[in-house]
Amino acid sequence: NAGVTQTPKFRVLKTGQSMTLLCAQDMNHEYMYWYRQDPGMGLRLIHYSVGEGTTAKGEVPDGYNVSRLKKQNFLLGLESAAPSQTSVYFCASSYAGRETQYFGPGTRLLVL
Amino acid sequence: RKEVEQDPGPFNVPEGATVAFNCTYSNSASQSFFWYRQDCRKEPKLLMSVYSSGNEDGRFTAQLNRASQYISLLIRDSKLSDSATYLCVVNLGQNFVFGPGTRLSVLP
C-alpha cells in the first residue's frame, strides 16, 4: 500500500496563477483533510471531507476550494494564488472521524 | 485563547534524560487525543493515542486529565533519535486541532 500520496511535491507559482494539489489514499478511508503548516503556527485545517461527494470548511478555507469526486482522491484548488498562500500543504486521511490520521509527505508551495 | 496550547520549547536535553511535555485544550467536548511526532521537513506521524487511564509504549507514557483538560507526554531514557517536534492533537468529532508543537533536541 502506498498510503497517502500527494502531487506535486514542490511548486512555484506567480501571484494570480491557479493550481490543483492532488491527494490520493489507498486505505479506503472515509475522511480526508487538507492542512497548511506555517512556521510557528502549527497545522491549520483548510477543508475536510467525511465521505465521497461531501466537503466542509475548516479553520482557514478562504482562497481555497476542494472536491471529493472519488473516495480515494481529495483535490485542493487555488484559483488565484497569493503570496500569503506560500506554505507546506499536508493531506491526511482517517478511517473514521475520531481515528488516527495518516499524512501524505506534503507539498511545498511558493507563491511569488 | 488557542484551542490547543503546548510548552513553547525548545527542549534541549542530554541523552538518557527524562523529559515531559504538557498540553492543554480549551474545548471540553473534545473526544479523542493523540501525540504526533514530526521530523524536520517531514509529515507528522502518530506517536500514540492518549486514553483516560493513561497508556505506555516502551519509553513513552501519555496521560490525560479530562477534568483539567490537560495532556502530557513523558519520554524516559531519551535517545538521539527522539529529536523531533511533538504535536498534541485533539479531536472534536469530525476534525482535529493541532497544537503548535514542542521541539525536542537530544544532545550527545
| Chain A interface includes B100 (CB < 8 A) | yes
Cell of A57: 470548511
Choose among B32, B96, B100: nearest Cβ to A40. B100
Closest residue of chain B to A57, computed from CA coordinates: B95
**A95 SS3 class:** coil
pLDDT tens across B53-92, in order? 889 999 999 999 999 999 999 999 999 999 999 999 998 8
Q: What local confidence, expressed as pLDDT, does residue A8 receive? A: 97
Q: What local confidence, expressed as pLDDT, does residue A104 receive? A: 97
Q: What local confidence, expressed as pLDDT, does residue B1 receive? A: 64
Mutate which: A101, A102, A107, A108, vs B, most B CBs within 10 A: A101
pLDDT tens across A3-53, in order? 999 999 999 999 999 999 999 999 999 999 999 999 877 899 999 999 999
Closest residue of chain A to B90, computed from CA coordinates: A98
Q: What local confidence, expressed as pLDDT, does residue B102 receive? A: 95
Choose among B46, B49, B98: nearest Cβ to A43. B98
Q: What local confidence, expressed as pLDDT, does residue A42 receive? A: 83
Q: What is the 3-state secondary structure (H, E, C) of chain B?
A: CCCEEECCCCEEEECCCCEEEEEEECCCCCCEEEEEEECCCCCCEEEEEECCCCEEECCEEEEEECCCCEEEEEECCCCHHHCEEEEEEEECCCCEEECCCEEEEEEC
Q: What local confidence, expressed as pLDDT, does residue B51 receive? A: 85
Contact B100, A38 (CB under 8 A): no
Q: What local confidence, expressed as pLDDT, does residue A106 receive? A: 97
| Chain B interface includes A41 (CB < 8 A) | yes
| Chain B interface includes A101 (CB < 8 A) | yes
Cell of B80: 538521539
Q: Which residue has the cell 465521497?
A: A52
Contact A17, A81 (CB under 8 A): yes
Q: Are strands A10-13 and A107-111 parallel, antiparallel or unpaired?
A: parallel
- Phi and psi (nearest 5°) for A83? -55, -30
Nearest-CA distance B77 → chain A (Å): 26
